[in-house]
Amino acid sequence: MKTRILFATLFFPLLLQAQDNNSFTFKGQASIWANSNFKKDDPIRFGVRYLPQLNYTIELSNSQLIDFEASANIYGSLGYRPNDDWSSNDEIVRPYRGWVRWSGNQFEIRAGLQKINFGSAMMLRPLMWFDQVDPRDPLQLTDGVWAILGRYYFLNNANIWLWGLYANEGPKTWELGQTLERTPEFGGRVQLPIPMGETGFSFHHRTVNTMPFMDILTQYQQMPESRYGFDAKWDVEVGLWMEATWIQKHKDWGPATNQHLFNLGTDYTFGIGNGLNIVAEHLVFATAASPFEFENTIHFTGASLSYPLGMFDNISAIVYYDWTNENAYNFINWKKDLNQLSFYLMAFWNPETFQLPQQNQGAEMFAGRGFQVMVVWNH
């Protein structure tokens, strides 16, 4: 009841300014796919997914808006084993997005289940703090986080972000251990224009529940953690960017006390045929008991190629190489667009156990060797 009263107190004066040209929209994305994996227990698997989305916008008299978004992830799959029964997944429906936003010409405040992402890197992202977008996933799926996010945009293209997170289950990307229950997380970001590009500085703080790691890594039941990020991007003859994260535990956690991630990347479109775009990135990931020491280091290189075959056809490929474990991840995709329909034919040749940071459902389907066919309808 108190929450409802607070909400009404904050937003009722704004709703009184609402004009008559409010808008309501409904759209969705339906997909169906078949996956054949030569190494999985279920060599053949079929799946369907539907993402319905409702949006409602209230226009205020002072060039401001209040808008709402609600969407769900409705998902199901069946796997077949030769000489065995069909198997199905248990998770069918879960919330995907659900937020309310108050915005004006130079600001926005958004609260609820939402997607938060930022940074310059494309494939191997040290600043992938709150999402799990896999560049190979045609649907670009990622779970949201429960948060309140405020942003202010200056006239010189600089902007400031402030956020607070609460009640998010499971570790997010690059996190070791879950956030302690009933404790808030908070942070912010500043983006600034620089000659021929832009740069950003990010910060996030949380408290880690270390109970599962006691007597192994630490003697503490709770561990304060701060995360610092830096990124910059330049548009010169080629696109250039760098992105880095330092994750610091404020108490001794052995070799996991400090995590360091650093990415260098570039992209260029060659004037070959319809235009061949190539992206290359290299990621260094290291942990150490002391800051800025690199005792346990892993190197990843990623490369992406994309070529439009015509107005409605595109072929792309992504290759990752894990230099430490000497594993290669290979993916190729042909896409055809036809009005509201998109068709995908994908092939992959990857290790059985993934060492890449992406943690969404789409990444799991690409373990091992095989191919996938997908049809997507956007309405």
pTM summary value: 0.89
Q: What's the pLDDT score for residue 171?
A: 81
Residue whose pair of structure tokens reads 């404790």 in the numeric block? 183
Region 296-306 average pLDDT = 95
Q: Which domain holds residue 242?
A: 2-378
Structure tokens at 80: 């077949």
Structure tokens at 22: 């409010």
Q: What's the pLDDT score for residue 92?
A: 87
Helices (H) and strands (E) in the chain, counts: 2, 19
Are the C-beta atoms of 147 and 126 separated by less than 8 Å? Answer: no
Please determine, for residue 216, whether its predicted confidence score (pLDDT) is greater than 90: no
Please determine, for residue 115, whether its predicted confidence score (pLDDT) is greater than 80: yes
Q: What's the pLDDT score for residue 261?
A: 97
Q: What's the pLDDT score for residue 293?
A: 87
Please determine, for residue 159, whether its predicted confidence score (pLDDT) is greater than 50: yes
Higher pLDDT, 236 or 171: 236
Residue 98 Cα to chain centre, angstroms: 17
Q: What is the pLDDT of residues 118-143, one digit of tens each?
A: 999 999 999 999 999 999 999 999 99
Q: How confident is the model at residue 352 (pLDDT cuts 50, 70, 90)?
A: confident
Higher pLDDT, 4 or 125: 125
Rounded distance between C-alpha atoms, residue 259 and residue 291, angstroms = 8
Are the C-beta atoms of 92 and 61 separated by less than 8 Å? Answer: no
DSSP string, 266-332: EEEEE-STT-EEEEEEEEEEEEESSTT--SEEEEEEEEEEEEE-SSSEEEEEEEEEETTTTEEEEEE
Rounded distance between C-alpha atoms, residue 278 and residue 167, angstroms = 39
Q: How confident is the model at residue 354 (pLDDT cuts 50, 70, 90)?
A: confident
Q: What's the pLDDT score for residue 20?
A: 58
Q: What's the pLDDT score for residue 295?
A: 82
Q: What is the 3-state secondary structure (H, E, C) of 140-201?
A: CCCCCEEEEEEEEECCCCCEEEEEEECCCCCCCCCCCCCECCCCCEEEEEEEEEECCEEEEE
Report the percentage of the chain scoring pLDDT > 70: 87
Counting Cα atoms < 13 Å in the Cβ hemisphere of 136 gives 32
Of the listed ranges 78-92, 105-119, 196-210, the least confidently predicted one is 78-92
Of the listed ranges 124-128, 250-254, 303-307, the least confidently predicted one is 250-254
> 66-104 burial, b for 16+ CB within 10 Å, e for fewer?
bbebbbbbbbebebeeeeeeeeeeeeeeeebbbbbbbbe
Of the listed ranges 83-97, 193-207, 341-355, the least confidently predicted one is 83-97
Structure tokens at 31: 């997909």
Are the C-beta atoms of 211 and 221 separated by less than 8 Å? Answer: yes
Q: Based on the structure, what is the number of domains in the chain?
A: 1
Report the percentage of the chain scoring pLDDT > 90: 71
Region 17-35 average pLDDT = 85
Q: What's the pLDDT score for residue 375?
A: 98
Q: What is the pLDDT of residues 322-350, one digit of tens each?
A: 998 899 999 999 999 999 999 999 999 99
Region 93-112 average pLDDT = 97
| Chain mean pLDDT for the chain | 89
> How many beta carbons lie within 10 A of that of residue 294, not counting itself?
13
CATH number at residue 332: 2.40.160.100
Q: CA dist 322 to 61, 284, 351, Å?
A: 55, 10, 10
